[in-house]
Amino acid sequence: MPAFHIWTLGCQMNVADSLKLAAGLERLGWHQAPTEHAADLYVVNTCAVRQHAEDRAYGRLHELRRRRERGERFQLAVMGCMVGPRTDDLQRRFPQVDAWARPQQFEPIIALAGSARDASEGEFWTDTFATPTGPTAYVPVVHGCDKFCTYCIVPLRRGRERSRPVADVLREVQHLADHGVREVTLLGQTVEAYGHDLDEHADLATLFEGIERTGGIARTRFLTSYPKDMTDRIIDAVADLPKVCEHFNIPVQSGNDAVLTRMRRGYTVAEYEERVDRIRMRMPDVALATDVIVGSPGETDAEFAHTLALLERLEFDVIHVAAYSPRPGTYAYREQPDDVPHDVKRARLHAVEAVHAASAERRNRRLLTRTTAVLVEREQDGRASGRTRGGQLVHFDGAGLIGQLVDVTVDQVTAWSLQGRRAGDLTLAVV
């Protein structure tokens, strides 16, 4: 039986794409190679969101070329966000690649694997579900993005927003539940955009409601939020439906209106704060994460100071921060010079990281002595780990608990994780 290996970079959507392709190949009689050196087909699933991710993909492709030159025999395919309508340059650089596939357009790889299937056989993919690898799973519900933020390559590579029909999503969730999954994360570049393009009257809350009725699933999460698409109905559904976790990841990107305008984010700082206020009014214990870009074109010290002030004011549980990295093909790359010096970007990055460390630790301290349900995802050497409804990582003594919801009393916290003990267990030491 031929074997494949998929090497994946990037976001949860890329991970989901790799699992979907793996399920398709398995359906065609292939199997996962026990090691990457045993693969007859090697797939590199790329990310183009930052230069660093592209550099890692280039490094891997150079290494694979050298392995080919040393006589190793395998077919090579490249997929993901580095593959777009104008990637001739990339294809000239790596002529040894046998197939190129744009995100979610797996057909060139399926053809390389020896199948005559093509895009017209859509039902093949509709009924091909990723094999779960644990008690949690990602479920893409809306592909692409219509927002066209000036710095972002995603809409150019993943195309316009396309929602999956409600029945397709719920069938996949049921399949995952039947295979031991307890928690699903619904994915979209802007996940609240789900349903805008469907004939059926549906939104993200419709999916939440359907999953409430799906036996076996205990928790629903969703990623990534976009403030302008986040309706009161969706916020209310998160607050009211027992399975939906009170956990939002809402990128703000900047705390200054002029920067947000240059980024074409489509909202003001006040509008962003209004959504956060609404969420916290409905769910006082909600966990909030955000994304921030520092050193975007033209960002002044004063503009950056507004970002720091906003982050301190809103006190997030998690702040993902990245230094601006110009992406060829974007509006910003063409029209907005990358004029913030590297050392200034680094200093701003560290400043945001410091705010994050302080606010995350403060937020986690609220959980000290509380008992909270943890869905166990991993175990090693008698230690179990999993996440709270708010997404905080918790470690405690335990074994044989993977996939179970366990009540854990938190007795130590850092900015990054919590330690605890099973509720009801005796503790011998006061921490």
Which residues are at the interface with ligand SF4 (CB under 6 A)? Answer: 145, 147-149, 152, 154-155, 189-190, 226
Question: Taking the complex as a whole, how short is the minimal distance between the CB of residue 252 and ligand SF4, in angstroms?
Answer: 11
Of 152 and 408, CB closest to ligand SF4: 152
Distance (Å, rounded) from C-alpha 140 to C-alpha 12?
9
Of 43 and 152, CB closest to ligand SF4: 152
Distance (Å, rounded) from C-alpha 101 to C-alpha 80?
7
Listed residue (271, 274, 214) closest to 244, CA to CA: 214
Of 78 and 191, CB closest to ligand SF4: 191
Of 75 and 296, CB closest to ligand SF4: 296
Close Cβ partners of 351 (under 8 Å, ≥ 6 residues apart): 304, 308
Of 90 and 154, CB closest to ligand SF4: 154
Element (H, E) at 109: helix 107-112
Question: Taking the complex as a whole, how short is the minimal distance between the CB of residue 14 and ligand SF4, in angstroms?
Answer: 13
Of 94 and 333, CB closest to ligand SF4: 333
Question: Taking the complex as a whole, how short is the minimal distance between the CB of residue 266 and ligand SF4, in angstroms?
Answer: 8
Question: Taking the complex as a whole, how short is the minimal distance between the CB of residue 147 and ligand SF4, in angstroms?
Answer: 4
Question: Taking the complex as a whole, how short is the minimal distance between the CB of residue 169 and ligand SF4, in angstroms?
Answer: 20
Q: Which strands sit side by side in the sheet containing 3-8, from one edge to the other?
A: 31-32, 3-8, 41-46, 75-80, 99-101
Of 134 and 155, CB closest to ligand SF4: 155
Listed residue (318, 256, 255) closest to 290, CA to CA: 318
Question: Taking the complex as a whole, how short is the minimal distance between the CB of residue 224 and ligand SF4, in angstroms?
Answer: 7
Question: Taking the complex as a whole, how short is the minimal distance between the CB of residue 96 and ligand SF4, in angstroms?
Answer: 31
Pairing of strands 162-163, 183-188: unpaired
- 325: tokens are 């990295």
Distance (Å, rounded) from C-alpha 338 to C-alpha 352?
20
Of 152 and 276, CB closest to ligand SF4: 152
Find out whether 10 and 80 touch, Cβ atoms under 8 Å.
yes
How does DSSP classify residue 164? P
Distance (Å, rounded) from C-alpha 214 to C-alpha 272?
33
Distance (Å, rounded) from C-alpha 351 to C-alpha 309?
11
Helix (H, G, I), strand (E, B) or coil at 422: strand
Question: Taking the complex as a whole, how short is the minimal distance between the CB of residue 291 and ligand SF4, in angstroms?
Answer: 8
- HSE-CB at 7 with a 13 A cutoff on CA atoms is 21
Q: Which strands sit side by side in the sheet containing 247-249, from one edge to the other?
A: 247-249, 287-294, 318-323
